[in-house]
Structure formats: structure tokens, C-alpha cells
Amino acid sequence: MLTRIPNDMGVISYNKNALEDIIRSAFARCKGQCWVSSRFTSAGKELSYSDKGVFVRVSCVVRVGTPIRTTLEDIIKFIGDNITDCLELTIDNIVLNVVAVAGTKNTVKRDITLDYYSNYVNADDESDDSEE
């Protein structure tokens, strides 16, 4: 699907499938450790564009034993680098939300969020890693 973004110099057109490919490639790099989930949410991915830039929200599942923060940071960095370098678009935010942690037999729901600006929230204890 072709999306048109008006700006002060004219109109930028890009294919939303390019964003889908970037997200798919980011998760393919950590195959078996983290994957996109639509089972626990109504939508696994949300892609939009505003005056601030591209907004990406992805719900994902992480395998038990996977370092959550470093894995999410790697995925976000890959997506962000590709959006700015390949598509040459600005970034509003990239948000990854861990909705579950999967073991060999069980899956436990979680609500952990990390965004492009390194705002980390573990909803289980309502804390983040910011130093005050």
C-alpha cells in the first residue's frame, strides 16, 4: 500500500510494505528468542505517520531466558536505523511491548514496554530504569 506524506516541499510517497519488511527482518535476527504476537492483543503491529514522523508499535513474545532489555534494544535499533537510513524518514517513536514470556510448555502474560528513547517500563512493578 502506497502512503503519501505531504510536507513543505511537496509530497513523499513510500510503501508501507517497506516498513513491514524492516520489522520482519528485525525479528528474524533474533529468531526463536522474540517474535511478533497477535494472539494476546487485537493487533500485533501498528504503523502510522504524523508530522513528528513514523510511529511503530509492535506487540511481541519473548522466550524464557532471553535478556529482554538487550533483545528489545537490538530490535529497536535495527528498525530505527533502517527507517532513517533506508527510507530517510524521521521517527516519532518505536515501541515494543512484551505481552508474554513463553516457556517450553507454558506462556505467561506480561506487560513490559521499551521505546526508541529508552524509556523502559516493567508494568509488573511500575518502575523504570531512569535515574532520579
In degrees, to the nearest 5, what angle opens at C-alpha 112 toward C-alphas 58 and 23?
20
pLDDT at residue 129, as a whole number: 41
For residue 9, is pLDDT > 90? Answer: no
pLDDT tens digits, one per residue of 37-82: 877 666 688 888 888 888 999 999 999 999 999 999 999 999 999 9
Which pLDDT score, from 0 to 100, does residue 36 have?
92
* Mean pLDDT confidence for 10-20: 76
pTM of the model: 0.80
Residue 35: Cβ within 10 Å count: 15
74, 88, 61, 87: which is closest to 118 by C-alpha? 74
